[in-house]
Amino acid sequence: RDNTIRLWEVETVKEMQQLAGHTQSVRCIAFSPNGKMLATCSKDQTIRLWDVAAGKEEKKLEGHSGCVYSIAFSPDGRTLVSGSRDSSVCLWDVYGGTVVRKLEGHQQAVTSVAFSPGGEVVATGSDDATVRVWDAVTGDELNKLQGHRGSVLCLTFSPDGNALATASWDKTVRLWDLAAHQLPATAEGHRGPVRSVAFSRDGRTLATASDDRSVRLWDVGFGR
């Protein structure tokens, strides 16, 4: 763990930039929607914003009191959401570098965060085995989703924003219908914690990756 971030040219796999500044391991990275900025978060409790073209640190965001595990940009690139070991979620003004709102409710570390496609909603997953859905403008908690029996390791919205897929240490993936507030469909089959989940562009297929060394594709019908 050298605490650095490296940028690579895709076609040649040539290293373009090495970004140094974090003092402990880097846990998550995210490009802004226009690709001009890179956000990184670290065990050193900070978030850093980098100018991609110049390879320079633009801002250092401080406000968490524990390792920052996950970050995501809003669709318009003006807001950043972060989740931390300190059990809090912060919404940051990207250009001002300040905390706009601090969302509190989780009882343990916040391991995953995501904006809805429209940017009006934020979802967060935690070691407390819950998923919470928040109003991105007011900071109000809209829903608390319970069902997982272990840490929520990853989550993502469907392309239309009506569903939320969550992956957990309990080896399952759950698909929540946010509009109907129905009980989630559950996909079972992995033999280890599920660490990554992604929708296809048309929202019909879900891909999941697990510690069992397999990747599975699911018909968002669901569960096969």
Q: What is the pLDDT of residue 223?
A: 45
In angstroms, the Cα distances linking 25 to 7, 20, 42, 57, 115 are: 16, 11, 6, 17, 24
Q: What is the pLDDT of residue 29?
A: 97
Angstrom distance (rounded) from CA 203 to CA 168: 20
Across the range 11-25, mean pLDDT stands at 95
In angstroms, the Cα distances linking 153 to 112, 128, 131, 222 are: 6, 11, 10, 20
Given a cut of 90, whether residue 26 has pLDDT beyond it is yes
Encoded amino acid at 9, one letter: E
Per DSSP bridges, beta strands 121-126 and 98-104 are: unpaired
Q: What is the pLDDT of residue 224?
A: 44
In angstroms, the Cα distances linking 170 to 10, 38, 48, 191, 210 are: 35, 32, 32, 9, 11
Q: Pull the structure tokens for residue 96.
A: 């001002």
Strand order in the sheet with 46-51: 26-31, 37-42, 46-51, 56-62
Residue from 122, 131, 121 nearest 153 by CA: 131
State pLDDT tens for residues 142-196. 999 999 999 999 999 999 999 999 999 999 999 999 987 777 899 999 999 999 9
pTM of the model: 0.93
State pLDDT tens for residues 55-113. 999 999 999 999 999 999 999 999 999 999 999 999 999 999 999 999 999 999 999 99
Across the range 36-42, mean pLDDT stands at 97
Q: Are 148 and 167 in contact (CB under 8 A)?
A: no
Q: Phi and psi for 136 in degrees, rounded to 5?
A: -70, -20
Q: Are 165 and 156 in contact (CB under 8 A)?
A: yes
Given a cut of 60, whether residue 114 has pLDDT beyond it is yes
Q: Are 128 and 107 in contact (CB under 8 A)?
A: yes
Q: Are 185 and 223 in contact (CB under 8 A)?
A: yes
